[in-house]
A = this chain, B = another copy of it.
Amino acid sequence: MKTIAIIGLGLIGGSMGLDLVQRGYRVIGITRRTITCQQALERRVAHIAGTDLSMVETADLVIICTPISHILNTLEAVTPFLMPHAVVTDVGSVKSAIVSAATELWPGFVGGHPMAGKATAGLEVAETGLFVDCPYVLTPTATTDPQALATVRTLAQDLHSQLYECAPQEHDRAVAWISHLPVMVSSSLIRACEQEADDRVLALARSLASSGFRDTSRVGGGVPELGMLMARYNQTALLQSLALYQQQLLELTELIEAADWSALENWLLQTQQARPAYL
């Protein structure tokens, strides 16, 4: 593998470009806006950059770094230009909705999800080493070409990520728990507080909120489009997680209603003991 095309030069695509140029690959950057091409060249994110999808024609590996809603139509648009041996991967945060359709469009497709991010998006905040020690999940299926899988494994290793491999559905259930459910839990907290009918109490709550509220509400105050896309593309797994969450919340509420304080303390002890496994 010598030439890598990156489609979409935001935080993820841009940061990949920075690392891959440094590792000696020939990197082609493709983006929708001409001004981003100039920035990409200035920041050495790619050796050449342009807006024309046919630029993938010399690429051994194509990494689609567009928003999740554009992955499949981007893949469809580039397939006429791909070399027969070309491998294509994506960086979308859900996989079931992408992988089977993408594999039908291009047999050399391997689903991927490098789990790095920052609070802000865009090429401006792209940085070297963004993926170091971060999980990079690959989601091969029974029909995935082993050579294509090996190529994307090498990419994850080149970025010094921690490689995980699982089925698309397993990935989606796992990220529903630890990424998508927290957004819904957290945004509902903000929304619930805003339901306070007494203006004095609402003003006081806002004034008294500190680190506990700040942390619990953080992901609920994130970019609305991203939260919506999580739900849209991971609807099934998220609804399953939401149902189990509501059940737990109901059990907890019943303990408080019943004033069963020892059971409540025991419940909280279990969550305290369970949490470190996620850190």
Contact = CB atoms under 8 A, between A and B. Distances in A.
B212 A239 contact: no
Nearest to A176: B205
Contacts of A142: none
Copies of the polypeptide in the assembly: 2
B265 A208 contact: no
Given A178-B208, A210-B115, A238 B256 contact: yes
Given A252-B187, A278-B205, A212 B219 contact: yes
Contact of A214 (B137, B185, B278): B278
A135 interface: yes
A193 B219 contact: no
A243 to B, nearest CB: 8
A73 interface: no
A257 B184 CA distance: 13
A48 interface: no
Contact of A265 (B209, B228, B235): B228
Contacts of A267: 187, 191, 224
Interface residues of A, number: 92
A275 B206 CA distance: 9
Interface string A163-184: 0101000110111011101111
Contacts of A276: 221
Interface stretch (A35-43, A53-61, A195-203): A195-203
A188 to B, nearest CB: 4
B271 A220 contact: yes
Contacts of A209: 178, 278-279
Interface of A: 115, 134-135, 137, 164, 166, 170-171, 173-175, 177-179, 181-196, 198, 200-201, 204-210, 212-225, 227-228, 231-232, 235, 238-239, 241-250, 252-253, 256-257, 259, 261, 264-272, 274-279
